[in-house]
Structure 1
């Protein structure tokens, strides 16, 4: 992490699972470290805890997730070597090759990395298609996911609208000037924020 990172505390209401998420995020020069907690009641009551660390250019290096439900607790470690190779709990996952980012299901924070890397919230780039290492919750299944992000223009607060598409799913997501999700229609919206540093 670079010198004197800015720390952000972000809380979203997660519409899709009738829950909430809070993330404590240290955002430095091209790097991000975060820890988060989430609770949801759909498709079943569950808790999620995670820690996320990126390398340079917001490229995921490690995501550690714990999920708890009526079936007990599950843990998973998703790791990227920075050169294109991924492992899940130490097992090689060549199907994820080419991905730079993780995408934790129903976690608005993990939409920030590709947006920050390419300045998409500032309409600074054209449409981009990515492969993501996507984790479903609460079962923590990992699979590759093809996602397209298209900048649509600025918002009044210095952020921007970005169209997110994956398969038949499409939403126009509002990001703030720091690259964090403000409004993800039908999925999540930001209800609390503080910053220091």
Structure 2
């Protein structure tokens, strides 16, 4: 069974908003999103995310438009550890199965869904292909998700990456409700 949802966040970190149209079902997530930001400069973002079985990233297509230029990125994972950016191999991502689009609360959902961290205790350390916005550069990023328990709005999950640490609240379906200093979902 496929479930469709439209989610909108106020993205305080970019001084803007994001809306994502999502479809989930049987270990798959497909999403298309649009965002507008004003920090570090005014920009528009459009993205399409497709995952394979187990919510593993297959493809992320992103376009960013600023006053000076338009950038695009086609990030692909072959399901066997190989990653490419615009058709060029990306070394150093062999253990990564997730992408993480900067300033985008939606891309925290696949690892949480895959490991059920919005419902059950556990901790997972994961390598991701992190994509900066608005530059669209890709770099490896080790991230840890730790289930902390229920919250008034859902389930709290600690997120750490390097020295960065925060507690994200996810709803019962595994989507971000509140990501302190980054985004809050509008109801």
* TM-score category (smaller protein): over 0.9
When normalised by structure 2's length, the TM-score is: 0.97
Tell me the matched-pair count: 187
Task: Give the corresponding residue for 2:133.
Answer: 137
Give how far 1:7 is off.
0.5
Matched, 1:62 2:59: yes
Alpha-carbon distance in structure 2 between the residues aligned to 1:174 and 1:7: 20
Matched, 1:110 2:126: no
Paired residue for 1:30, among 27, 30, 35? Answer: 27
What SS does structure 1 have at the residue aligned with 2:109? helix
Give how far 1:128 is off.
1.1
Paired residue for 1:94, among 91, 94, 98? Answer: 91
Structure 1: 4+ residue segments shifted above 4 A: none
Alpha-carbon distance in structure 2 between the residues aligned to 1:162 and 1:154: 9
Task: Give the corresponding residue for 1:164.
Answer: 159
Structure 2 unaligned residues grouped into runs of 5+: none
Aligned-residue RMSD, C-alpha = 1.0
What SS does structure 2 have at the residue aligned with 1:94? coil
What SS does structure 2 have at the residue aligned with 1:57? helix
Matched, 1:16 2:13: yes
1:118/1:125 contact within 8 Å kept: no
Paired residue for 2:179, among 174, 184, 195? Answer: 184
Structure 1 unaligned residues grouped into runs of 5+: 193-197
When normalised by structure 1's length, the TM-score is: 0.92
What SS does structure 2 have at the residue aligned with 1:113? helix
